[in-house]
Structures are given as C-alpha cells and as structure tokens.
Amino acid sequence: MMKRVEDYVTSIPDFPEPGIIFRDVTTILQDADGLCLAIDSLMDFLKDVDFDVVVGPESRGFIFGVPVAYAMKKGFVPVRKKGKLPRETISMEYDLEYGSAVVEMHKDSIKPGQKVVIVDDLIATGGTIEAIIKMIEQLGGEVVKICFVMELAGLKGREKLKGYDVASVITYEGN
C-alpha cells in the first residue's frame, strides 16, 4: 500500500498544553521516503505554475523550499527573523498569539515583475505568510502560489490569504 505524507507525521497529544495535538514535521524529515514524498507533493502543486523564484521563511520554509527550488531550477529567497540578514532589508511586523514578531528579506531579493511561490511547512494563523506577501508585493513581486506541507484548518489561517492560490499537502481540521 502506498504511504501518504501524513503517515510520516507524529501527532503528540497535549503538547505544548492540554487539548492541543502537536503535529511533528521532523518525523517526515527523518525518513528518506517521507522527505521525498513531501518534496514531490509540493512540486506537484507547481507543475503547471509559471514562476521565477521560491521564497521560504526560516527555518522549515528553508528545509522544504530549497529542495523545491533546486529541483525546479529556480532561485531561493530566505525570509529571516529581524537582524539576521547582512545587507539592506525590508521588514514587516505581524501578530503572534501573545505579542508580535518581525520578519525581513533583502531589499534586492525580489525584482519587480517576478512571479513568486512561497513554501513553508505549516499554516496555522497565517500571520507570517501574510507579512511575507506584503514584503514581496512591496518589492514589486507577484505571489502566484503558496504551498504548505501541513495546514491546521481550525486556526483559519487561509482566511488571511484570501485571493491567493493556497495548497496544503495535509489538512488537519482542528487546531
């Protein structure tokens, strides 16, 4: 029987707090077949998409985005936490469950008119990706697809990404 990507995810009940089921993506990465299946599934979403570059947020957006960019012969643009990139950056603040955070990308990383795909491991509330979209568009790029390995549909992150083409390999209905 063919395994699915979700067969490689370990679910940990009551972590980080009671009532939460933590979906651990590292068990996908630890298994060669799971990793290949996850990357291939992301690339399947992109087979008919015209794009120039892959953008991924640290750290797991790097893990999944770089192999996709490599296999599809595209460049990769890292999005990092504030203060981690060495050249001139643009930044965007976004809300967290408790407080806020700031992400940055190099000011010259997206050229006007470039078609951009965003790849990350997980969509929860959608705040990080919403901030990344704003930066890409501020630089003149066009987001043509957003791909995730996992989606926690109960947190309604997709609502923040209305108007964009969003795909998830695995969707969990709860939080």
Report H helices in the chain: 26-29, 32-46, 60-71, 127-138
Sign for the CA dihedral angle at 39, 106, 86, 122 comes to negative
Side-chain-side CA neighbours of 5 within 13 Å: the count stands at: 23
Q: Any bridge partners for residue 118, and if so which?
A: 55, 146
| Spatial separation of the C-alpha atoms in residues 49 and 45, rounded to whole Å | 8
97 is catalytic: yes
Question: Of these residues, 17, 97, 159, 173, which one is catalytic?
Answer: 97
DSSP 157: G
DSSP 81: E
Query: How are beta strands 75-81 and 99-106 bridged, if at all?
Result: antiparallel
158 is catalytic: no
| Spatial separation of the C-alpha atoms in residues 124 and 150, rounded to whole Å | 9
Question: Of these residues, 6, 58, 60, 142, which one is catalytic?
Answer: 60
**Tokens matching residue 164:** 């964009």
Residues taking part in catalysis: 60, 97
